[in-house]
Chains A and B, each alone.
Chain A
Amino acid sequence: MSKKVLVLGEVREGSLRNVSFEAIAAAKQIADGGEVVGVLIGDGIASVASELVAYGADRVVTVEHPHLKAYTSDGFGQAFMAIAEQENPEAIVFGHTALGKDLSPKIASKLQSGLISDVTEIEGAGDTALFIRPIYSGKAFEKVKVKDGIVFVTIRPNNIAPLVKDESRTGSVAAISVDITNLRTIIKEVVRKSTAGVDLSEAKVVVAGGRGVKSEEGFAPLKELANVLGGAVGASRGACDADYCDYSLQIGQTGKVVTPDLYIAAGISGAIQHLAGMSNSKVIVAINKDPEANIFKVADYGIVGDLFEVIPLLIEEFKALKVNA
């Protein structure tokens, strides 16, 4: 049976995040011919509505309010629930992002529904859809289904391919007005730490350093390589514990889980906890002085050598490749 699906479009610094387009593709599959309704919540965000339609949404509902300029679970919760009450969806899709992770349990609680978090793959469609998600930090996978109530999922960035953008698609955009009140959290400021605005969890390329990077300054060539490739910098727990970098960069069992197209591990030995955070990356490159390092067991390509020699050479080669392309 076809389903009506709500998809939350996530806007950051004026632009829709890639994961929102992936969420529409997931929603299409769950909808099984049913309607896919894009949802935009914020302040001054309605202008991106047509982009949701171009990526496959049938129409878009927006809630704008000055109190929705910054995300709070209270504000966005009130806005989303107002839309849910109006639309009565049979399924909901969010991105498994900081915002999606924070908001989805609240909405699921209010709707008294289940919630399947961090989905990486969907099998089948409509009522018979099965959802695959990593457990034990990616050391295993589980396939789950909804037993009772609405289908509510959050999808992991970089795993479900978005539909091809089609600017000729049209769909209505309707604003509904919601009184946003009683916000219990006041956002004072956001301190940006991530490199060049590329989000680690959404990056197509991740350059990660471990203890072999030896110092905070040692991360400089990794950052340069990440910039050349339009990627983000990550780190192993060892590098974070040694204070070479901020914990926000940590990839692993405690830390972030990433699945980029290309993961370059530099000076990382490959402890099981680190592998849990990156082993599902599409292509893994290991650079390590120790030929016995565990990281070579999961790497597609390996170079045994000093990262401080290898990375500058890599930067030159990638730059040359870009020029020739």
Chain B
Amino acid sequence: MNIFVLVKRTFDTEEKIVVAGGKIQEDGAEFIINPYDEYAIEEAIQKRDALGGKVTVVTIGGEDAEKQLRTALAMGADEAVLINTEDDLDELDQYSSAYILAEYLKDKEADLILAGNVAIDGGSGQVGPRLADLLGINYVTTITSLEIEGTNVKIVRDIEGDSEVLETSLPLLVTAQQGLNEPRYPSLPGIMKAKKKPLAELELDDLNIDEDDVAVKIETVEIYLPPQKAAGRVLAGELQAQVKELVNLLHSEAKVI
């Protein structure tokens, strides 16, 4: 099994977002592997251990993303590839990201490509399905179970709370939903081993991509924080009376009931 995992370096889920000069401030922020990508990495490692083969983790980003790739290697991935666009591109969108990944993957003969179903920063969930389309392979999103036998694949996916059971075949791209597995923490020996595992760095030139090919289709005009909510009302008095008051407020003041 030739397995690839798409990972993205994202803000830690605990981070407070600060906007200055129309941009999200990254100084001093903690970065992690996008949580949904961790499910993808874990699943890739489990499938390799069961069926043999190799797991390669791939990311697009700058030098800083090396840390997240090393973490994935420490979890158990075999190789890592950083497609470094720092010097070439000021901006990326889902169109350009998918294009770059497709150029990298088009001759790799991947049997299985895994990704998170969405990144918790941009939140678009597009790159996986777009990449599958560019590679001409099938995809299944938000999966919670994956069974592979030969080239036959049985999947359970989450559709807005319901579960869909389906069958398909390799080659395939899947995106991971929470519940797929329990991602492992890197072990100390894993971390030591990861330092010696191959981590290749590529630039757009190495993939024969011209900057014009990956010009963005969507442009961000402004980034801002949601308006601060005024402090709410904590009700007081006897419980029964509080409940009566609450229902009244929801009905007459907030008018949501």
**Which residues of A line the B interface, CB within 8 A?**
73-74, 97-99, 101-102, 104-106, 108-110, 112-118, 130, 133-149, 184-194, 199-201, 204-205, 229, 246-250, 253-255, 261-262, 272-273, 276, 279-280, 282-286, 291, 296-305, 309-310, 313-314, 317-318, 321
Contact = CB atoms under 8 A, between A and B. Distances in A.
B254 interface: yes
B221 A145 contact: yes
A154 to B, nearest CB: 9
B51 interface: no
Interface in B87-121: 93-95, 98, 120-121
5 contacts: A114-B218, A136-B24, A199-B160, A282-B256, A301-B246
Contact of B217 (A74, A149, A272, A313): A149
A117 B123 contact: yes
Given A140-B19, A190-B164, A298 B218 contact: no
B28 to A, nearest CB: 16
Contact of A110 (B124, B133, B224, B239): B133
Contacts of B121: 135-136
Given A109-B130, A191-B162, A272-B14, A135 B123 contact: yes
Given A141-B223, A313-B243, A194 B231 contact: no
Contact of A147 (B141, B216, B229): B216
A137 to B, nearest CB: 6
B196 interface: no
Contacts of A248: 158, 160-163, 179
A107 B122 CA distance: 20
B232 A98 contact: no
Given A148-B217, A149-B217, A303 B161 contact: no
Contacts of A138: 226
Given A114-B218, A117-B123, A142 B223 contact: yes
Interface stretch (B54-62, B75-83, B165-173): B165-173
Task: List the 7 closest pairs (A to B, CB-CB), nearest first.
Answer: A114-B217, A105-B129, A109-B133, A247-B179, A184-B138, A194-B161, A302-B234
Nearest to B242: A303
Interface of B: 11, 13-14, 16-17, 19, 24, 35-36, 93-95, 98, 120-130, 132-134, 138-142, 144, 158-169, 177-179, 215-226, 229, 231-235, 239-240, 242-244, 246-247, 249-251, 254, 256-257
Q: Which of B14, B224, B257 has the most CB of A within 10 A?
A: B257
Nearest to B154: A188
B159 A317 contact: no
B229 to A, nearest CB: 6
Contacts of B129: 73, 102, 105-106, 109
Contact of A255 (B178, B219, B234): B178
Given A118-B124, A144-B218, 14 more contacts: A105-B98, A105-B126, A117-B125, A135-B123, A139-B225, A143-B222, A144-B220, A184-B168, A200-B161, A248-B179, A279-B226, A301-B232, A310-B243, A318-B247
Contact of B138 (A133, A144, A185): A185
A193 B244 CA distance: 32
A194 B124 contact: no
Given A109-B130, A302-B235, A310-B239, A280 B215 contact: no
A183 to B, nearest CB: 9
A115 B93 CA distance: 9
Contacts of B159: 98-99, 190
Nearest to A110: B133
A200 B218 CA distance: 29
A286 B221 CA distance: 35
